[in-house]
Amino acid sequence: MALLSNTSPVYVALRCVLLYSSLCLEASATSGVSTVSVSGLLPPHDTLYYLGVRAYFAEDWEKAAELIEKSIATRESILRTRRKCHDNCGAAGNDRLEKLDTEKGSVWDLWAIDWAQRRAECIRFCLGRAISPAGQLPISEDMHYEFDTRNPYNYLQVTYYKLGKVQKAVSAAQTFFVANPSHLEMRNNIEKYKRMSGVTSEAFQDRERDGHKQWYLYDAALLAESSAEWARAAEVWKKCVNETLRQTEECRAQCEVEGQGIPNEETSKTTGVFEKAAALSLNLLSCKQSCVAVVATRPGRLSPVEDFLPMVLEHLHIAQFKAGDLKGAVQTLRSLLLFYPSDSDSLSNLQLYFETLGGDTEAQPTQEMSTYVNRSLLEKKLLYFGVENLDFNFTDPDLWTPEEVVPESLREGWRVEREKLNAKLKEGEREVELDDSGFYAGGSVPLKGVTITMDDNILNGTNRVVLDGVLSQPECDTVLQLASTAASLGDGYRGRRSPHTPHEKLEGLTVLRALTLAQDGFVNQTDARLLHEIGERVRTLLQSYFRSPSTLYFSFTHLVCRSAITGKQEGRLDLSHPVHVDNCLLEPETRQCWREAPAFTHRDLSALLYLNDDFEGGDMFFTDRDAKTLTATVKPQCGRLVGFSSGPVNPHGVTAVTAGRRCALALWFTKEKLHRDMEREEAEAAWAKDGLSVTKEEDEEDKSTPTPPRSGRSQTSKERSKSRGRVVGGRDEL
């Protein structure tokens, strides 16, 4: 069986096919021809989505709606086709399995490879009959994130509203809002739709409901419980169990059929056919195990509900008991004991049933639950074997995993992490607000004329500071003029409009962009260099004040202006920038902050240097982790610098700019040299080539005491949720 190498000609050929298909799709989209493949095969849905978004920004609303809807429908068709092929090819190659573990043949493992190859060929042939070659290629994590967070419906909501199709706009808005409940703009839109004449309650439908049906059943069962309708509750809880199992099987099938295509880090670092086969197999098993977390994550939440399936079984057991279905309760309790065989409460309940039913407690767990647990345990044994012997990384998504499944050499660390997580879940205590950044506010301010206006005590937080006098008024005026002359509509580096509110216009400028414009004669060279020099000034101040234990590297520097759009401010309830944390994903409901994509996890220190105050609104504010409790507010003015550690102790946002133009220089710093701002260094190199000296970052790596681990989760749940990315330019603004 051939394995892809790093320079696989098959991969190159497939990429060429994708490029050719994309060009054909683009041509057909611009000429009004249908985007369906000429062969009748399903095209790549990510290409359709890309073309739809491009049509959206061109304000071609009809074309945008058509293409984005087709991308959604095509994705659903591809997923259904994959599942169908998975089921149809389930028995392919099984005749080879009969030759395993027999006395004949000493190379029995080659028969296993033959079995796997025959099944793979069956699936590949099946997929090829319905999906185009380009459509079979893996899509990027960014595109996965777009569809997982339902961003296509965000575009559709606006598109249908522009087309006057309000009912469809309402449905799209509701679908997006279910997965993004903290999106203030969409919340306001939904409230407006509710007040519109002719809009009925039936219009507020979640179009993705079937993909997360277990959560609707979960809510319905809780509602029945609250009304003491125990028979109804038991019926719905049973449906919830079945739907959870079905969704898990669907996810596992996609893991197997979607394939990996391009060698990843785990497989590319191995050598030898058997090592690569082991790595691929372990990756597949890890993907299947992660389906537990995928199914247990409610839309709009970042983390899964721990022990979701056992929890639902416990609810079902109680509902059956109170409804008088004692035999059903015994069977459910037996199923629950598969997960926790020594649970004292369950064993006590079983004894109670024995006494109540007079010994009639022999009901066995359901076959589906027995299969689920046994299969999971076998997979865990293989995965932990890989962790122990093959340097494989695996994070167990289950709390119920018995200790004996974990190899002896791994048990101590596993046990410690498990005990920490269990204690946290049982106590339900509020997470202590500790800053593990390694910074310690209160250092000196080395520049003359700069004063400390607000410190941790005044700002009611940790590692926060406001410094005044960082810029003079002439310097503020110079940078403001530079922004007026050179800033680009959008973010200033990828042409994106403001991602946060339609009520403001966003303009941005980077150091490299300023240099390029200066070289072309559009702006003054001195002004462009001033933008660079100010950044060095800020770094000097923050490095000293926060007593940084290591060198601070620039991660990104961004001159950004937000202008209130005239005529779009009445009744405004949103924020200029919603509450967020710079290096992790804030989940206000649980007060957790996950250090994973799309958060900029490498950021360590954040800063905002204001240039003016002749506008209304635009105050920066800090909150508690609930994103609601205000802890401090900072009003902008020329030369005022706000600095703070980028982690979860400092959630912050910006109030709406309702009049005028707010300009500031946003800067982020990192202790990781790997993540330094290469664009800034490119600008420095260009200046040096022209004979102009600039302040250079230190090249030596910090050799002081290492900073604490960067993970925001315990190791038990670090990789539990799916990897998330987003279609952005890799930057953001405060």
pLDDT at 650 over 90: yes
**Residue of 82, 595, 661, 662 marked active site:** 662
Asked if residue 8 has pLDDT above 60, the reply is no
What DSSP string describes 202-227? GG---TTGGGGHHHHHHHHHHHHHHT
Q: How many CB atoms lie within 10 A of CB 145?
A: 19
Question: Exposure of 660 by Cβ count < 10 A (0-12 exposed, 13-18 middle, 19+ buried)?
Answer: middle
Q: 665-680 in b/e burial notation, b at 16+ Cβ within 10 A?
A: bbbbbbbbeebbbebb
What does the alpha-carbon distance between residue 187 and residue 168 come to, in Å, rounded to a whole number?
Answer: 16
DSSP secondary structure of 46-115: HHHHHHHHHHHHTT-HHHHHHHHHHHHHHHHHHHHHHHHHHHHTTTTTHHHHTTTTSSS-S-HHHHHHHH
- How many CB atoms within 10 Å of residue 661? 20
Query: What confidence category does residue 718 fall into, taking pLDDT thresholds of 50, 70 and 90?
Result: very low
Please confirm, yes or no, whether 246 is among the known catalytic residues: no
pLDDT, tens only, 447-457? 989 999 999 88
Helix runs in 180-307, H state only: 184-195, 213-226, 230-258, 265-268, 273-295
182-238 pLDDT, tens digit each: 676 787 788 888 888 888 888 999 999 999 999 999 989 988 887 889 999 999 999
pLDDT at 697 over 50: no
Question: pLDDT per residue over 304-362, tens digit each?
Answer: 888 899 999 999 999 999 998 988 999 999 999 999 999 888 888 888 888 777 656 67
Closest CA to 65 of 55, 50, 78, 77: 55
Q: Average pLDDT of 616-641?
A: 91
Report the b/e string of 107-131 with b at 16+ CB within 10 A. eeeebeebbbebbbebbeebbeebb
What pLDDT does 5 receive? 35
pLDDT at 719: 35
For strand 641-645 and strand 605-610, is the pairing parallel, antiparallel, or unpaired? antiparallel
pLDDT digits (tens, 9 = 90+) for 604-613: 999 999 999 9
- What is the rounded average pLDDT for all residues in the chain? 80
DSSP-derived letter for residue 727 is S
- The answer, yes or no, to whether residue 62 has pLDDT greater than 90, is yes
Residues 444, 446, 451, 456, Cα dihedral to 10°? -30
- The model's pLDDT over 262-283, given as tens digits with 9 standing for 90+, comes to 455 555 565 677 777 788 888 8
In this structure, how many other beta carbons lie within 10 angstroms of the beta carbon of residue 232?
17
Q: What is the pTM of this model?
A: 0.58
Helices 213-226, 230-258: crossing angle, 10 deg rounding = 160
> How far is CA 197 from each of CA 168, 203, 553, rounded to the nearest angstrom?
15, 12, 55
Question: What is the distance between the alpha carbons of residues 573 and 187, in angstroms, rounded to a whole number?
Answer: 10
pLDDT value at residue 37? 53
